[in-house]
Amino acid sequence: MTVGLPFNLDVQTQTNEADSFAITFAPLSLDEVYHLAGDGANGAIVVMSGMVRNNTEGKAVVALEYQAYEPMAIAVFKQIAAEMRQRWNDITHVAIHHRTGKLTVGEISVLVAVGCPHRSEAFAACKYAIDTLKHNAPIWKKEIWKDGSTSWVSIGACEDDSE
């Protein structure tokens, strides 16, 4: 049985100089990813900011701890961008940045920014990027509950597409 990533490996992952990918312990910057997605050809920049919320399914959360296999995660980010560019060929820039380490409620855990000439493509591409990242990137999170207990959330155990 062959084990592989659950997305299209046939897409050529061509690094585009206009794109930015990062896994970091440092706080993420909305201003930075917005700037990285900027281009005179854009009519839209869509930014998705994922942040630590204070509950999961009604259970109080005080923090999340993220771990990642960085080389593979960056490769997955690049693969996602390549697939996005195949589907929406007018994309000018893609930025995908993810935090690792312990984050408290309100902190940004992931930023995805997509620059395009038109807003409909920018929205669709940004949604595709975050949905695909959550299912495919080797990034794990541990939920730290108010009562002091913890639980790990595995890859693929993501919110459903209706959120």
- Parent domain of 123: 20-151
Domain count for the chain, please give it: 1
| Phi, psi for 151 (deg, rounded to 5) | -155, 140
Cite the DSSP H helix spans in 9-152.
Answer: 30-37, 70-87, 119-136
CATH of the domain at 142: 3.90.1170.40
4 in a structural domain? no
Mean pLDDT of 32-45: 97
Residue 118 and residue 96: Cα distance in Å, rounded? Answer: 19
Whole-model pTM above 0.85? yes
For 80-107, the pLDDT digits (tens) are: 999 999 999 999 999 999 999 999 999 9
158 in a structural domain? no
162 in a structural domain? no
